[in-house]
Every structure is written in structure tokens, then in C-alpha cells.
Homo-oligomer: A and B are copies of this chain.
Amino acid sequence: MQLTRYTDYALRVLVYLGSAESGTTASAAEIAKFYGISRHHLSKVVSMLSEQELVIAARGRGGGIRLSVDPKDLCIGDLIRQTENLSIVECFNAETNTCPIASDCTLENLLQDATKAFLAVLDKMTLADLLPASQALLQIRLAR
């Protein structure tokens, strides 16, 4: 049971952007280099975040990416609801279900409750809470 790599990178992009001074931009190439993946791949993630209006991406010289919301207003649970498919088994979705007992299944209810518990923990935090307290990220960024 894993979060998709897209969700993982989405979180990383947001943490990276949130660690900067408010309003500053970073380029996709810079962030990609920091996390060791290609710019093109990271751009796909940025496009998704842009569609969800979590970041603003500006093309062209002097362009780049910045947060479009205040870190303290960005609920991590909401982000994950947007980026992840949370049907953790196929019977959560009537269209994909093949299980013959899905219509009366305690297991499905249990897994729904477990998923809710997972998200409830995430709902308590915002991006602001995730920004490095020890300035580790800033130190790493400044070292490059």
C-alpha cells in the first residue's frame, strides 16, 4: 500500500516551495535537481498542482513556480484526497467491483473506516506544519 509517486512528489514540491520566503519562485529545473529527477517528470507533477490551483506556474524568463495558497491554509488531507485514488480495494467502486459479496460486506466498511482514520490524521495538519523546523531544507538549499 503506497502513495503514488505523483503524490509523493506533489508533497515534496509543496514543501520545497513552502520553505522559501513567501512569494518567491523556484524553477521546475531547480526543484527537480534538488530531488534528483528529470525536469520533465517534475513538470508533470507541477502541472497537476497547477490544475488544482495549489501553485502558480509562470513560463518564460523570470518565470517559475510558487505557492498560490498560504501554507497554513493548505490541508494535507485535502491534498491527498485530490491526488490519490482512495478506493483501496476494488469493491469501493461499483464500476470496478468483481467481488460477489460486495453488497453486504463488513470488510469493505472496515476498510472505509480505516481509510477515514488515515485521512483524519492528515486533516489535522497543514503545509505550514510540515515545513522543516530545523531549517534542514533551507540549509541544503543554501548549500547548493
- Which residues of A come within 8 Å of B, CB atoms? 1-5, 7-8, 11-12, 15, 34-36, 76, 84-90, 98-101, 103-107, 110-111, 113-115, 117-122, 125, 129-134, 136-137, 140
Contact = CB atoms under 8 A, between A and B. Distances in A.
Contact of A36 (B12, B100, B105, B121): B100
A76 B114 CA distance: 11
Binding site of A, secondary structure by majority: helix, strand, loop or mixed? helix
A136 B101 contact: yes
16 contacts: A1-B88, A2-B89, A3-B88, A8-B89, A8-B90, A35-B98, A101-B137, A104-B134, A106-B129, A106-B133, A107-B130, A110-B129, A110-B130, A114-B118, A115-B118, A117-B121
A141 B1 CA distance: 30
A136 B140 CA distance: 58
Given A114-B122, A140-B100, A107 B15 contact: yes
A131 to B, nearest CB: 8
Given A1-B2, A106-B130, A110-B129, 11 more contacts: A1-B3, A2-B85, A3-B88, A3-B89, A11-B107, A34-B100, A76-B110, A101-B140, A113-B121, A114-B122, A117-B118
